[in-house]
Amino acid sequence: DLAVTVTTAFLWLASTFAWATALADIKVSTGASVIPGIEPCKAPGTTCRFVSVTSMKALNVSVVLGFINMILWGGNIWFVYKDTNLHS
């Protein structure tokens, strides 16, 4: 039981870091800094403007909740450890 809990907490941490990194990449890829790299925007006489991007608040919340859930799993490790023979 302890090994499964530790493994789950570690995998949750790794997946939350992976999702946070992917979200950061998504934000960079959809931000205003992309406009100079678009070929049609380089044409003479063409003006490209960055108007808006969809709100990413829900995605930010998902990363925060992922870290909070990992903290809960980490705390759960202590209680599972206390129920084993390893704890005297």
First to last CA, the chain: 17
Whole-structure pTM value: 0.76
Whether residue 88 has pLDDT greater than 80: no
Neighbours of 33 (CB within 10 A): 10
Domain ranges of the chain: 1-85
Say what the pLDDT of residue 54 is: 80
Q: How many CB atoms lie within 10 A of CB 61?
A: 10
H-state helical runs in the chain: 2-29, 57-82
pLDDT tens readout for residues 33-48: 888 888 888 889 888 8
